[in-house]
Amino acid sequence: MFSERAQRTCQNLASEKEYQEKLLSNTDAQLETLEKLASDIEFAQVEAQVVSGLKVGNEALKKVNEILSIDEVEQILDETRESIEKQQEIDALLNGVLTEEDEDEVLAELENLIAADEPKAVETEDISDQLPDVPDDELVKERKRKEKDTSGSSKKVALQA
């Protein structure tokens, strides 16, 4: 049915197809290997950045530890606790010491102090009949200034058009 030549052509095409499929399969495998390699490189870069960040953090902690010793921190905390306790004692004393009578006395003393600070009204005599009268005339300097202003402003100047 088929000629020998057609059979060879079909065999050649089949072998060519098989070769191309193997080549495509190998290329896909190489592409997957390259993608995995690129992914591994990116991951290694991220790891390097993490390690670098850890180094910087470690150096910062060392510097802080050099500045602050455990004894200093404990001393600061103790002083803070003592200050809080002292303030609480003061609050307790202030809240518990004053009775209602004491408060009344304190308020009365406050009113006395306020009254002592207020200026007392001084009785003044009516001395208006002893004062001289206010002059009705304009002052001489003021009158001269007004005359000068009015004489200077009335001059007319002709301008060329």
pLDDT in tens, 50-70: 999 999 999 999 998 888 888
Do 106 and 98 contact (CB within 8 A), yes or no? yes
Q: Per residue in 36-55, pLDDT tens?
A: 999 999 999 999 999 999 99
95 has a pLDDT exceeding 70: yes
For 138, residues 6+ apart whose C-beta sits below 8 A from its C-beta are 146
| Nearest of 157, 139, 156 to residue 147 by alpha carbon | 139
Residues 6+ apart with CB under 8 A from 2: 10
Among 77-86, 110-119, 131-140, the range of highest mean pLDDT: 77-86
The amino acid at residue 99 is T
Other Cβ atoms within 10 Å of 98 Cβ, number: 13
Residue 79: is its pLDDT beyond 90?
yes
Q: What is the pLDDT of residue 70?
A: 85
